[in-house]
Structure 1
Amino acid sequence: MVFGGIAVAVSLAFGIYSSQQIFRPSENPQSTEVEYSPTTSASTNSPAKTNSTKASKTTNETIPGIAYLPRLEGKATVVMTVKGQPITIEVDGTNAPITAGNFVDLVQKGVYDGLTFHRVVHEPQPFVVQGGDPQSKDPKVPVSQLGTGSYIDPKTGNARYIPLEVKPKGSDTPIYNKPFDATAQPVVLPHKQGAVAMARSPQSLDSASAQFYFALADLGFLDGDYAVFGHVTQGFDVVNKIQVGDRIDSAKVTQGAENLKI
């Protein structure tokens, strides 16, 4: 798959993080990196498309526990401040209600305040800036050990995970729990520069929890495999300046909080 003049082989793994990893919340986390391989074709480390199909009629009722997850019915605006500078994010609950609802709920709970960006990839091509590991609120946890953390619901004492949620163009509802072939049918929320999406394990479609990433460039090869839930409307220059170890000063819902249903 060609990106920026070279082929990009990508394995998005959200696990034990170094500065070269994305996210794997798991009882037995594995370290898997996002790899850039300048070959003539995508390798087997690319996000899997083998199980992708056309839009199905998968509904909320088919996903165990989904009715208990927060939902965003409409849109909301989140202002995330990093090193004193604001990043404005439009969160799209119309097209990604569960993923957007999860994010807005965590913002409302103050989960992201003080968390670290543990992964920034600009080379060999602009890729992602990732943060949101709740473990990073503990200053004793080094950045090199971040990436396995998930949001722990204080009411249950258990981690809260959300299913992969992708809405194809022309579909009334999103598809859940399965990768979707976006090369055959585009998705409503693509990985354009400035997109905000949830990190997850490639081995588990329902492993997204709190960690998210900003797309530093158009990353269409991720469409259908990772859930975009919003985009940066102002402050992308701030995103581009984020470095590993930078913390989120605060994240606040400034509009649309009434659209969150818990």
Structure 2
Amino acid sequence: MKFRLLFPVLLSLLFTSCSEKEKNIIPNEINVSKNITSKDLKVNDNGLSQESVILKTAKGNIVIKLYPHEAPNTVTRFLQLVQEGFYDGLKFHRVHPKFLIQTGDPTGTGNGGSGEKLKAEFNKLQHIKGTVAMARKPEDIDSADSQFYISLTTLNHLDSNYTVFGQVVDGLETLDRINLNDKIITISIQL
């Protein structure tokens, strides 16, 4: 008789603890296996993502918001490379004060990339200080890969000729402190 009374209680405890265990495991597995793409980003009234990409350097942090509707394929590829850790440890191989800084080449020469070319997604976004855009070969509009640059000033002559996909929203003063061969410590996504 005692066993009959305890059996439902034991069953209830067993199923409750299994459910709690599953609750703790399943979300972590989903988060680990999920790759964030441009479709996962929420945008504000300016078209910028609510989520940020944080580029850490020895000179300070650079916080970037993305334009997932203006350059969806570029944003998705950039996020993929960020999540793979591709940019971590790479140099700023091109630095022109009062013009731009550029990174994203694992060879550090300006000739390398990830090996995956992107079709251009030219848009109407203007190059102002802190604009983030994909670098490409001048003669091939669909040659962007992993290299990107950040404008250090207004660059009207680049408007509609390069894929603008982000904007620096914090750390503009850090941009001016970056020197040739300074390295990215890490880039991460802040949700």
TM-score by length of 1: 0.54
Deviation per CA, 1:78-111: give whole Å up to 9, x if none.
0000106211000111211011111111111100
Give 1:134's match in structure 2, choosing from 106, 124, 148: 106
Alignment of 1:189-228 (within 5 A): 189-228=125-164
Tell me if 1:233 matches 2:189: no
Alignment partners' CA distance in 1, 2:122 and 2:132: 13
Tell me if 1:117 matches 2:82: no
Alignment partners' CA distance in 1, 2:190 and 2:38: 14
Question: 2:186 maps to which residue?
Answer: 250
Alignment partners' CA distance in 1, 2:72 and 2:110: 25
Give 1:165's match in structure 2, choosing from 121, 146, 150: 121
Question: 2:29 maps to which residue?
Answer: none
SS in 2 for 1:108: helix
Which of 1 and 2 has greater Rg? 2
State percent identity of aligned pairs.
37
SS in 1 for 2:154: coil
Structure in which a larger fraction of residues adopt helix: 2
Q: Is the contact made by 1:134 and 1:210 (CA closer than 8 Å) also made in structure 2?
A: no
Deviation per CA, 1:177-216: give whole Å up to 9, x if none.
xxxxxxxxxx1x2111110000001111111001100100
Q: Is the contact made by 2:59 and 2:178 (CA closer than 8 Å) also made in structure 1?
A: no
Deviation per CA, 1:201-247: give whole Å up to 9, x if none.
11111110011001000111111110110000000111110000100
Question: 1:107 maps to which residue?
Answer: 82
Alignment partners' CA distance in 1, 2:59 and 2:158: 31
Alignment partners' CA distance in 1, 2:85 and 2:117: 18
Tell me if 1:150 matches 2:113: yes
SS in 1 for 2:107: helix
**Structure 2 segments unaligned to the other structure (5+ residues):** 1-35, 42-48
**Deviation (angstroms), 1:71:** 4.9
Give 1:82's match in structure 2, choosing from 35, 38, 57: 57
Tell me if 1:94 matches 2:69: yes
1:106 maps to a residue whose letter is L
Q: Is the contact made by 1:99 and 1:229 (CA closer than 8 Å) also made in structure 2?
A: yes
Q: Structure 1 segments of 4 or more deviating over 6 A?
A: none
Alignment partners' CA distance in 2, 1:72 and 1:95: 10
Matched length: 147
SS in 1 for 2:61: strand
